[in-house]
Structure 1
Amino acid sequence: MSSTQTLSAALKTLANYRAHSTRASQDVLAKGSAILRDGRPEAKLGDDAWAFLEQVFLAAIDVGNIEIADECLHKLSDKFPGSTRVDVLAGIRIEASESPEIALKFYDDILKDDSANAAVWKRRISILRRTGKIEKAVEELKEYLDTFYNDLEAWVELADIYSSCYQYSSALSSLSHTLLLAPQNPFYTLQFAETAYTANDIPLAFKMFSVCIEIAERDLEPGEVVRSKGKGKALAEDIDLDENAGEGISTRAWFGLKLCTRILLSTSSSSPSQTPIPKRKTIELVDELATERVLAVYSSNDGKGKENVRAWLGRS
Structure 2
Amino acid sequence: MDVTSALQRSANYTTKNARASRQIFESGIVVFRNNAQYKLGDDSWQFLDSLALAAIDVGRIDVAQDCFIRLSAEFPESPRVQCLEGILKEAREGPEAALNFYDQLLEADPTNTAVWKRLISVLRRLGRIERAVEELSKLADTFYTDVEVWLELADIYATHHQYTSALRSLSHVLLLTPQNPFYVLQAAETAYTAQDVPLAIRFFLMVVEMTGVDSDETRPPPPPTGITVRAWYGVELSAARLEANPALGSSSPSKTRVPEHLSQLRQLARDAINSAQVDRRDAETEASSAWLSR
TM-score with structure 2 setting the length: 0.86
Aligned residues: 281
Is the Cα–Cα contact under 8 Å of residues 246 and 294 in structure 1 kept in the other structure? no
Q: 1:140 to 1:267 in 2, by over 3 A?
A: same
* 2:257 alignment counterpart: 276
Would you tell me which structure has more helix in proportion to its own residues? 2
Give the 3-state SS of the residue equivalent to 1:278 in structure 2: coil
Could you tell me how far apart the structure 2 residues matched to 1:250 and 1:301 are? Answer: 14
In structure 2, stretches of 5+ residues that fail to align are 286-294
Question: Which residue of structure 2 aligns with residue 310 of structure 1?
Answer: none
Cα deviation 1:65-102 (Å, max 9, x = unaligned): 21222222222112211211100111111112222221
CA contact (8 A) 2:211 2:228 kept: yes
Q: Describe the shift of the 1:226–1:199 C-alpha distance in structure 2 as closer, same or farther (beyond 3 A).
A: farther
1:264-303, aligned counterparts within 5 Å?
264-271=242-249, 272-273=251-252, 274-279=255-260, 281=261, 283-302=262-281
Per the alignment, residue 202 of structure 2 pairs with 207
SS at the partner of 1:128? Answer: helix
| Structure 1 residues 72 and 270: alpha-carbon distance in aligned structure 2, compared to 1, 3 A threshold | closer
- Counterparts of 2:154 and 2:120, CA distance in 1: 14
Q: Which amino acid aligns with 2:71?
A: L
Residues 1:41 and 2:5 aligned together: no
* Maintained 8 Å contact 1:61/1:93: yes
Instruction: Kindly indicate whether the alpha-carbon contact (under 8 Å) linking 2:207 and 2:228 is maintained by their aligned counterparts in 1.
Output: yes
Residue pairs, 1:82-121, within 5 angstroms: 82-121=77-116
1:260 paired residue among 238, 243, 248: 238
The amino acid across from 1:99 in the alignment is G
Structure 1: where are the runs of 5+ without partners? 228-239, 307-316
Which range moves more in the overlay, 251-260 or 9-18? Answer: 9-18
Match of 2:166 among 163, 171, 183: 171
Cα distance in 2 between the residues matched to 1:269 and 1:301: 37
Query: Percent identical across equivalent pairs?
Result: 44
Whether the 8 Å CA contact 2:3–2:31 is kept in 1: the answer is: no
2:11–2:40 Cα contact (<8 Å) kept: no
SS in 2 for 1:55: helix
Residue 4 of structure 1: how far off its partner (Å): 5.7
Amino acid at match of 1:13: N
**1:228-252 CA distances to partner (integer Å, 9 max, x unpaired)?**
xxxxxxxxxxxx9666x511x3232
Distance 1:4 1:97, change over 3 A: closer
| 2:288 alignment partner in structure 1 | none
Match of 1:62? Answer: 57
Corresponding residue for residue 21 of structure 2: 25
RMSD: 2.6
2:68–2:84: 8 Å Cα contact kept in structure 1?
A: yes
Post-superposition shift, 1:51? 1.0
SS at match of 1:144: helix
Going from structure 1 to structure 2, the CA distance change for 1:65 and 1:254 (only over 3 Å counts) comes to farther
Q: Measure how far apart 1:149 and its partner are.
A: 0.8
